Each structure stands twice: as structure tokens, then as C-alpha cells.
Amino acid sequence: MSRIKEFNLPDLGEGLTEGEILAWLVKVGDTIELNQPIVEVETAKAAVEIPAKWAGQVRSIFHPEGTTVEVGTPIIAIDTDPGAGPIEESTTGAPADALPTPSAASLAAVEVAPAEGAVEPGLIGGPAPGGRTAVLVGYGPRTTAAKRRPRKGGAPAQVSAAPAAPVQAAPAPVAAPVPPAPAVNGSGRVGGLVLAKPPVRKLAKDLGVDLAALTGSGPLGSITREDVQRAASGTPAAAEPLTVAAPATAVASFGADREQRIPVKGVRKLTAENMARSAFTAPHVTEFLTVDVTRAMKALDRLRERREWRDVRVSPLLLVAKAVLLAVKRHPMVNSTWAGDEIVVKDYVNLGIAAATERGLIVPNIKDAGRLSLRELADAMTALVQTAKTGKTSPADMSGGTLTITNVGVFGVDTGTPILPPGESAILAFGAVREMPWVHKGKVKPRLVTTLGLSFDHRIIDGELGSKFLRDIGDFLADPEAALLAWT
């Protein structure tokens, strides 16, 4: 059995087809152990470290950092028995146990789009004369060797370095003389013609002014309306030397040198595909509710003061998550999926929490969040957010979500109209908590207020169900203690 084994990029879950090599954690010649992380790969969902399948010594790395490779492509070769000595060579001079040559996929399947059928000759991307490929302009570079035109009066061109009979060069075609560009003089004339716009010419004709007798004061000596009017009134124009003045301010530039092109890949690519698919598949409806959350914020303050909660991260988002979980129990149809011929209602809630990371927006979820106590929910949310910010969220943690919360309030935004993650029927936007004037017990007082925005799939959730679900969330946030007593 061969000592050299190729390690292929594995499928990291959820049917991923490719991944980008972010960083190699080993180099050629390193001795590695079984399950030692060897490479960090960014898939369409997360950045993950991949462990080695074998112990041994790294013999070759097939793809550099920054390369996107397909699942199943060899990325590294490992000598599984480096202590057995050098690899013996065969009688042909090649090593008997030579390093396996990467398959065609490992050499050419990087960022290659699948074929969509043959392209007719002459069309963009199709074959063209001379073995070239038709592009937008011309036919691209030639695949044959270039032939140099023989110099006039010089030695005949040689086809190869080997001696051969001289080839009589055809006489080079004589280029047609290029006429010199017309000169612009100080009188606003180009090759004897007067520079003036049609409206100026008409004005001169109406006033009886001979344009040929004027000296233009406009750009490049062109004649302006003022020049014609001065000539008609008899006022001489001040003599000015013809100069092309530099602009007083910098000319606006809109070229490619002031543009930035960011490749769409990884998390951002998946997010774009999911959002576009959801926005044009599920009919979205969004409702809003503004809530006085003063009592809820005071309840959080009391919770933080308890001894067993002093080391726990307590935030308003925790109460929102609890409100959503309790409201789902009262309206289970909200936690469902449209499956074409049927609606799948789920008895478990995999609660997604949208998180903004350096690689883009991701939505990890807390599995079966409805079974957790408030303390367990707080710990799970803290771990979820910290893992997301470090970029270590696994694909499994971002799969199988059933209902999502997006906390736009952390950016100072009041609310929004969120787009549903694919496969989910509802998503709640939690806005900023602000001190605002509010009518409380018949008087206008400063109160802590927030706005909720609920988007839902109208194929599953009608207006009544969506409104009741949102109203229950608002009732809990308005008075969480009373809601807990009434609902549990």
C-alpha cells in the first residue's frame, strides 16, 4: 500500500460544494499527528479548521491560501510512514512510491463554472478562426506562434533556427499618409474655419457681424456670444494671449482607479443567494408594534442584582427571545415550513440569532431553545454570539433554524422589514430601546420604548395569526412578570 496519501477537501455538511483555503496550519516537511488541524477553510457558512486523517509528514500542498477548491479535490499529500526511509526508485528512475500526481480536479477545478452546453462558433465564448475563443471585442489572443513582418530592405525572415532556403518576403504594404491634425490659431480658426457654435453663428447673422473678422475669447479661441455682441456694439475686445488655462479645481474622476471590487464568495455569497431566493419565493408581510418596555428593563436590573446572575450576560435580547419562545407555544403555526403540498409544523424551536461578523451576516441557532430555562437560554446566547464573532461557528450550528430574531437595535435603528431565512415562516426585528414621551396612567411621562417588526410568510401565516403572535410578544415585554404568571 502506498505510503503517500492524498487528503481531499471533505464535505463539511449541508451539501457544500466548495471552500476557500484561508490559511495552512502546516507546511511541507512538518510532522503531523492524527486529528491535528492542518488547514482553515471558509465554506459558504463558516470558517472551520479541518483535522488530518492520518499521522505522518507533509509531502506536498497542492493549493495555496486564497484558492477556492471543490469538495473532493486533493489539497495535501501526507507520507504516512516517514520513518521507513527514503522512497525507493524504480528501474525507470522514478520513485516506486512517488508522490501521487494530483488529479485533474485538483489542478483545474478551481473556480471553474460547469459547462452549460456547447457554444456555437462565432458567439461569445465559442470557437473562432485560428483556434481562438470569441470574446466581446475581437477573438482573444492567438494560440499559434506570432509571425514577424520582415523589415523593409532587411534579410528575409527565418522560419526556424535550422538552415533553410530563404523565403522571399512579400513587399510590405505602404501605409497611406496620415493627414496632419488641423492646427488651432489664436483667431478661433481650425484650418481656416471659424470656431463658433450654431446659436452664435445665428446671432452673428442676425446682427450682421462677420465671424471671420473676430478674435474669439472662448475655449481654443472659439467665438462666443459676448464676442459677437461686442463687435455689434462697437466695443473692442481686450486682447488676450491664447493659453489653455489649467482648471482652478480638480476635474471630477469616475474611473476604475476610484472603484473597489470585492469578490462575492463564502458567507456573503450564500447570504445573497438565500435572501434573493426567499424574497422572491415567500410572499412577505411585515407588521410593526411599538411597546413600552420600562417594566421589562427594570426586571432585568433586578435580575442582574441576584447573586446567581451576577456573572451572566443579561441583555434586553434575552427577554425578547423568551417572549418569542412563549408566544410560539401559544401560536405553534408560526413555527412551521412551507413544503409545497403540505405545511410542516415543528414542535421544537431552533431559535436563530442573526449576528454580524467580519465575514458577513450569519444566523446560528440554539437547538430546541424552548426546553431551556432562562439561565440556560442566557448562557446559550452568550456562547453563540462569542463563537460567531471569532468566526468559529460550525455549519451544523447554522443549519436547521426554524425562527429567527435580528437585533437591529444594537446599531441604533428603530426597526426594519427583515427578509425570511429560507425554510422559516417568521423573523422578528428588535429595535433600539429609547427614552421617549409616552402616555402612562393618563399622563405623558418619559418611558423606555422599542419598536418590533415581524415579517412572516403569508402562505402560512395570515394577518390575524401574525398580529396575535406579535401582540403576545409585545405583552410579555410590556409586563414580563404578569405574562409569566398568566401563560405558565
Nearest to 400 by CA among 463, 355, 335, 340: 335
- Give the model's pLDDT for residue 257: 75
6 and 101 Cβ atoms separated by less than 8 Å: no
**Could you give the 3-state DSSP secondary structure of residue 322?**
helix
Beta strands of 43-126 (E only): which ranges?
A: 47-51, 56-61, 68-70, 74-79
Nearest to 452 by CA among 336, 300, 324: 324
Strand partners, 428: 405, 454
Within 10 angstroms of residue 102's Cβ, the number of other Cβ atoms is 17
**Could you give the 3-state DSSP secondary structure of residue 343?**
strand
Phi, psi of 370 (to 5 degrees): -65, -20
Q: Which residues contact 284 (CB under 8 A, 6 or more apart)?
A: 417, 419, 420, 455, 456, 457, 458
Half-sphere exposure of 42 (CA within 13 A, CB side): 20
- C-alpha cell read off for 310: 451576577
Within 10 angstroms of residue 463's Cβ, the number of other Cβ atoms is 11
> For every one of its 488 residues, what pLDDT tens digit does the chain have, with 9 covering 90 and above?
688 899 998 876 655 678 888 889 999 999 999 989 999 888 766 778 889 999 999 999 999 998 888 888 999 999 988 887 776 644 334 444 444 555 554 454 444 434 444 444 444 445 544 444 444 334 444 444 444 444 444 444 443 444 444 444 444 444 445 445 454 444 555 555 677 777 778 788 888 888 888 888 887 778 888 888 888 777 655 544 444 455 556 667 677 777 788 777 766 676 677 777 777 677 889 999 999 999 999 999 999 999 989 889 999 999 999 999 999 999 999 999 998 889 999 999 999 999 887 777 888 999 999 999 999 999 999 999 888 888 788 888 888 999 999 999 999 999 999 989 888 999 999 999 999 999 999 999 999 999 999 999 999 999 999 999 999 999 999 999 999 999 98
- Give the model's pLDDT for residue 352: 95
345 and 315 Cβ atoms separated by less than 8 Å: no
Nearest to 460 by CA among 342, 369, 289, 321: 342
- C-alpha cell read off for 134: 470569441
DSSP 135: -
Phi, psi of 69 (to 5 degrees): -125, 155
Q: What is the pTM of this model?
A: 0.56
If you write DSSP's letter for every residue of 148-162 in order, what string do you get?
PPPPTTSPPPPSSSS
Cell numbers 459677437: residue = 228
Q: Is 327 exposed, middle or buried (0-12, 13-18, 19+ CB in 10 A)?
A: buried
261 and 436 Cβ atoms separated by less than 8 Å: no
What is the C-alpha separation between 406 and 353, in angstroms, rounded? 6
369 and 325 Cβ atoms separated by less than 8 Å: yes
Give catalytic residue positions.
458
Q: How many residues does the chain have?
A: 488
What is the C-alpha separation between 180 and 362, in angstroms, rounded? 63
What is the C-alpha separation between 337 and 425, in angstroms, rounded? 6
- Give the model's pLDDT for residue 144: 44
- Give the model's pLDDT for residue 281: 74
What is the C-alpha separation between 451 and 31, in angstroms, rounded? 57
- C-alpha cell read off for 120: 456555437
- Give the model's pLDDT for residue 314: 92
Phi, psi of 325 (to 5 degrees): -65, -40
Strand partners, 51: 37
Q: Which residues contact 362 (CB under 8 A, 6 or more apart)?
A: 45, 46, 267, 271, 354, 355, 388, 393, 398
